[in-house]
Amino acid sequence: MRAFLLTIVVLLHWLFVYPGYISDRNQYEQDRKQIVDDEEALQAGNDFNLSSKEADVDRIFMGFKEKELTRGFRHEDQHTAALHFFKAKKMIEKGDVFPFLKMMPKGALLHVHDAAAVSSKWVIKNLTYMPGMLRCSTATNRNVFTFRKLKKKHKCSSSYYRISEERDYAWYTSIYDDGLEKSINLRAAYPEMVFPTLKDVWDKFQNMFGTMGDVFSYLPAFQRYIWQMLTELYLDNVMYAEIRSSLKELYDEKGKVYSKDFTTRLYINISKKFVKEYPDFLGIKIIYGGRRSDITTIKQSIKEFIQLNKDFPEFVIGYDLVGQEDKGMPLHSVLDALDELPEATRLYFHAGETNWFGSLMDANLLDAILLKTKRIGHGYALAKHPTLMQMVKTNSIGLEISPISNQVLNLVWDMRNHPAAMYLAEDIPMSITNDDPGFWDAEGLSYDFYYAIMSMAPNSAGLSLLKALVWHSIDYSTLSSAEKEKGLSILNRRWEKFLTEVITKWGKKKNKKLNKINKINKKRRLSTRFPTK
């Protein structure tokens, strides 16, 4: 009996003195909601309030997004937001999110290398069919395409073969062309097997520049190629681009070589002609790219940049060092060379395109910031450096984020783990860029926007974030105040047209099922962001 009474006392004591781990459930829910609200207030895109028309488009987009994310949650092999681009590309194109993004005006593209900016399919179907193209191979079995015989320059160990004759002798032209395309594209059905290490993929990647480099220096091919580069950007609703280029010396069919000054003037003329034909395209500007291979090469590139910037100050707008950071010279080791740049030089350094932490490579971020870089190319490793990340935010240094490039070049596999997710969560200045899309069959900028909004952004992020990325790309560009004003006027007009097109194509009357999905998801939006189970 005594034992029974003691048990009753203990139970009563537990019920009244210890009512539960959560003493006030209502307070708990309020605290929980407050934390969610606080985090959302930090995220990129919150400075853009949507109009009623934009809100309608946002509901349409969120229906598309949530449908694809739900499919991926249920079927991991169809989760495009988490898959490697080479495995996801066809599935991305079949969904509704991608055509939405294709229609969307994208503002400015602030990081793309001209030698890898155009679809590899177009290059094969057009440039390799030009009369006189030759092919040779190096000792490492790398193809070199050219329109001139310079065996020493091309490092050829074979004879030169005429492409047109090889194509005529091939069993199937399409198979022969596919073989040529493999020389200038990293695409692989099983990239994890073809490129298991960083070295494997970077060796192939850099070799491809050597494969096509002399073709792009051929005057008639160069003109066609640059026009196609602008066309692909325009068709993907990009309105302006800042191109990384070394402005190669060109040669013609007679072997005459033209200076970089000539190349620059030709670039300007092509851009002006394109803008005249398509007035809602603002044109392009060049960020001169020197290779970070050795001090002699860097000094020569600085000398060339100084002269070109002096002659074309409104077109050759800044300087950068390009190439693999893991093997190239770090910025700290070339400070004396960089000190030769004029004080007014605008710098746009590649920095932090590495997985290393506390190394000479990710220290490029520190030096780039101290050298007052205007923007940072990639900035992948920045998330490991909170002090530098705060400096980037305080000084409004824009990050040029290239999602697919970082994945294809083996920095990240599942794009949900990309550090740009943290940059978006803390509203670090950034724009979406495509780096070298021609080398991985990603024509235009829409594929990179897909991963930005579907993988790196919160599940709840929609049109506000997309609009912020588009508008901020103009903010972080090198356009003058007058050019920005003109660009924003064009962008506002095209954005309004885009909203109308979306509503016409996917509006309420055409998508009752979509409206139902949106209504359901609106109720569970909070639990979608922070699942309780």
Q: DSSP character for 156?
A: B
Q: Following DSSP, what letter does each residue of 188-243 receive, concatenated? A: -SSHHHH--SHHHHHHHHHHHHHHHHHHHTBHHHHHHHHHHHHHHHHHTT--EEEE
Amino acid at 43: Q
CA distance 206 to 208: 5
Q: Which residues of 303-323 are buried (b: 16+ CB within 10 A; e: fewer)?
A: ebbbebbeebeebbbbbbbbb
Q: To which residue do tokens 């885009």 refer?
A: 498
Nearest to 450 by CA among 60, 67, 95, 51: 95
Reply yes or no on whether 353 is catalytic: yes
**SS3 state at 288:** strand
CA distance 374 to 368: 9
Q: What separation in angstroms does the CA of 368 have from each of 33, 112, 210, 372?
A: 39, 19, 28, 6
From 79, 378, 418, 472, active-site residue: 378
CA distance 149 to 135: 10
For residue 350, give every residue at least 6 positions away whose Cβ sits within 8 Å of its Cβ, in sequence order, or none.
320, 321, 322, 323, 325, 364, 376, 377, 378
From 68, 232, 242, 353, active-site residue: 353
Question: Distance of alpha carbon 209 from its chain centroid, rounded?
Answer: 19
Nearest to 320 by CA among 311, 67, 341, 333: 341
Reply yes or no on whether 304 is catalytic: no
**Residues noted as catalytic:** 353, 378
